[in-house]
Amino acid sequence: MRNPSNPIPIEGASTRAARYRAARFLNSVNALSQLPPDTGREVAFAGRSNAGKSSALNLLTGQRGLARTSKTPGRTQLLNFFLVGPERYLVDLPGYGFAQVPDAIRRHWQALLERYLRERQALGGLLLLMDIRQPLTDLDRRLLDRLAARGLPVHVLLTKADKLGRGKATAALRQARETLDSDFPGVSAQLFSVLTREGVNEAHALLDRWLGY
Ligand SMILES: Nc1nc2c(ncn2[C@@H]2O[C@H](COP(=O)(O)OP(=O)(O)OP(=O)(O)O)[C@@H](O)[C@H]2O)c(=O)[nH]1
Ligand SMILES: [Mg+2]
């Protein structure tokens, strides 16, 4: 029997999962003019190329092919918007740190991303994905500096946690949290893996909060 001092949650994990399973591709944005009206709420997935942004989005929406993933870095080349509910979006961003993109294209993305991250009012929070084996690179730190200047909530997913054993993954999380506490106070972190599905409930709860559900 349920402990009466531990009330039934208003919304369970399965209701939440169903919400994200309903996500649909909306559009790909290559210019600020193509952005949906800046009146809703959205959460963006950012991070280095190949960190696992698109894979995480697919796992969180329970849809394998929703966002395109690839072993080759640089797969996501536009800001891809996914509609979760009325004026509620998830946004898959192009990764940074991938040298093989022609200069002119890279400059275009950078300018687009910078303005999006600086100006977008609908942006309720940013999930910053980092491969657990290479967290907090210089480029990640540069992004964190800019987001801190804007006061945007940030949560780190340490991806591919399955690549390390349990003990090493836990140690990596502890280390990342210590570094974040000292250098980027307020930025939280968790383990994540598309293979083991570790971290899905925690990430869903955060998405709900940032999207205002
Ligand atoms: N083992 C393991 N592999 C993963 C995980 N997440 C992603 N990958 C793999 O990492 C590679 C890159 O994943 P993507 O999701 O395409 O990465 P991305 O960050 O969207 O990359 P860009 O779009 O190029 O910026 C793919 O081969 C994925 O299968 C994970 O949790 N565990
Ligand atoms: Mg991608």
CATH code of the domain covering residue 129: 3.40.50.300
> Ligand 2 centroid vs 106 CA: distance in angstroms?
15
Enter the pTM of the model: 0.93
Residue 193 near ligand 1, beta carbon < 6 Å: yes
Whether residue 103 is contained in a domain is answered as yes
Whole-number pLDDT of residue 3: 56
Whether residue 168 is contained in a domain is answered as yes
Lowest-pLDDT choice from 74-78, 92-96, 101-105: 74-78
Residue 52 near ligand 1, beta carbon < 6 Å: yes
Lowest-pLDDT choice from 2-6, 49-53, 65-69: 2-6
Atom number, ligand 1, closest to the C-alpha of residue 74? 24
Q: What 3-state class would DSSP assign to 102?
A: coil
- List, in sequence order, every beta strand (DSSP E) within the chain: 24-29, 41-47, 79-85, 88-92, 123-131, 154-159, 188-191
Reply yes or no on whether the pLDDT at 6 is more than 70.
Answer: no
Taking the CA of 80 as reference, the closest ligand is 2
Whether residue 8 is contained in a domain is answered as no
Whether residue 7 is contained in a domain is answered as no
Whether residue 50 is contained in a domain is answered as yes
Residue 80 near ligand 1, beta carbon < 6 Å: no
How many domains is the chain built from? 1
Determine the structural domain holding residue 89 and report its residue range: 13-211
Whether residue 5 is contained in a domain is answered as no
Taking the CA of 53 as reference, the closest ligand is 1
Whether residue 6 is contained in a domain is answered as no
For 74, counting Cβ atoms within 10 Å of its Cβ (0-12 exposed, 13-18 middle, 19+ buried), the class is middle
